[in-house]
Structure 1
Amino acid sequence: MQQIIPSGDNRKAHEVNGAALGEERHQHNAYRILVADDQMNERYLDINDPVPTGRQIIQAASLHPVDDFSIYAILASGEFEDLRLDETYDLRGNSAERFVIFQTDRAFKFTIDDRQLEWGKPNISGSVLKKLANVPADTYHVYLEVRGGQDILVRDTDLIDLSKPGIERFITVICDTTEGLSVLPEVDRRYLSDHGIEAELASDGPHIGVVLKQMHLPIGKFNHPFADILVILPPGYPDVAPDMFFCDPWLTLISIGRYPTCADVPHPFVGRNWQRWSRHNASWRPGTDGLHTMIKRVERALAEAK
């Protein structure tokens, strides 16, 4: 009778039951692995050989012809390791016994949360990306990064083309928001880092704001070349839109020597007296817009100020 060794504990039977069983018992061991298809549908297989080839694993999965398939080991880190058909993989002592099999002969590279992976199909769905990122499907969003533009929300059923030139980059962001926001969403933090913008969160009573430090202003337009910009984040952000923004020091237009229109009311926040710019936000796309789009609105308002 074969002994099934649970995943994550692939010890030889004689190690479990004592050395007296010896090699005779070792011949009858089975090693349990988890195999997924390109939709990340998983099933268990039992492999008798402790060091099977990629070909043996594909055969055990009853996939034919074997040469039409590619196989990857999914490591504990979440990375994919390409396993050639005649290459062996030692199931004894590896921290991962998970594999994914594709009917393809080409791999497509992408990154998710800064981990580079390979995928055996030219398209990948949002739901599969969440599984590969190992995040709860109902509490996280996936975004396709757009350098210099607005990141794109990838819904569970959306298919992203990986065959285009370049490597697609994805990030995951928790979609639950609370009034007690203590850290910016990852997509915001990544944008600030990528664009070299220094920022800090500040709280004033129940209100949370992000201060963009020493932002460059349009050259020759205002009485200061730099200013701190305050964006107050409403409860429910990023699903709810920020509205106005605030500047310190106060800005006047050099050409006319006065404050811009609708920018002459003070607003106290964290002990500073900010210049309120009444520029209301009439359009916001939950799941798509964020601090990056708010910064673009601020830049446009400053450039167009009269």
Structure 2
Amino acid sequence: MQSMIDIEDWVRAQPNAQIPEAESYRLRLWDGDGFDEKRSLSDAKPSGRQILDAFDQSPADEYVLLYLPRRKKLEVIELDDIIDLRARGPERFFAFKTDRLLNFIVNGHRFSWGASTISVALIRLIARIPDNETLFLERADAPDKELADDDAVRLSGKGLERLVSRQPSWKLNVQGVLLTLTSPVVVVKDALAQAGFDPSAGWIAILKRKGEAKLQVALTDTIDLTLPGIEKLRLTPAQINNGEVQTAPRREFGLLEKDEAYLNERSLHWETFVDRGRRWLLLSNFVLPEGYNHSFVDIAIDVPPTYPRSEIDMFHCFPHLTLSNGRVIGETSGRTAIAGQTFQQWSRHLNGQTRWNPATDSVMTHIAVVEAALLKEVGE
């Protein structure tokens, strides 16, 4: 026979095992007023009065005793009721100096409590709410209130407080299809698939966040829905044609390995070709921030034959861009003929501390210059 068994520890470690005989049994009692202790009883079948006496809760007839048996609901114990500690395996007792009990509802089940407030952590314990579920306080005239474990629920107000537990969920609008997700982080290609879009169909995916510039994301990127302001994921075909046969992107000259990896990682539609002796990198359907007369534009970048020793300078847009507010965009009056189309020249140059450095600059850093220039004109 064991000398002492802590019933709370035993039940948690071996929830389905019979509690063996022992010389004494250690119980835990909480009184709702700062008292939370464990004490031992030698009797395996004490009465409610004996339990209160063991914890110096006297006179016993001024107290209400509750206990939480394993795998069952919170129960009221009368003073003369006998509790078989070995059979019932109470995880914890609760004592309140009160002449009445207050009730609350969790997931449709009624529970009694002896204090005017109860912590959410105790509600979780009593109602056996799984860790992966969030508790909400139901409200008739407002959205349900999400509760944290250190919150408390007041039971002495008007009406019966009702709580419900739910698995947390996050919403994402994918091209008009509203997804409800159980994880706050989702891979772009998985979001497309869940919304019914084929990720391999060549989509350009644009993430829209309130108050921020639209961001083109790759299929392998992740979206963190805990970040504020995420509104939707918009899709557009990488290429739209009138029925003509699709051709593979032109690769008439190579870029640096890191450039090509960067362009592919961002899922940009890019080509390289030579037109009248000049080498061009073309970014098709490049996503623009709000504030322009177009949402997408083709951007041509002149790549010198001696790149990266020679710097990349400026960029060229087709169709031509204007601002929605009517303000003139400076240094864009130049025109450049490229592959039969007239592009708008944007004269944007590196200088000072940002002067071109062949050891560190590349197509990748020049695209950052392009994006910064486009954002600056619309005040972002």
Report the TM-score, using the length of structure 2 for normalisation.
0.41
Higher relative contact order (CA 8 A, sep 6+): 1
For normalisation by structure 1, the TM-score amounts to: 0.49
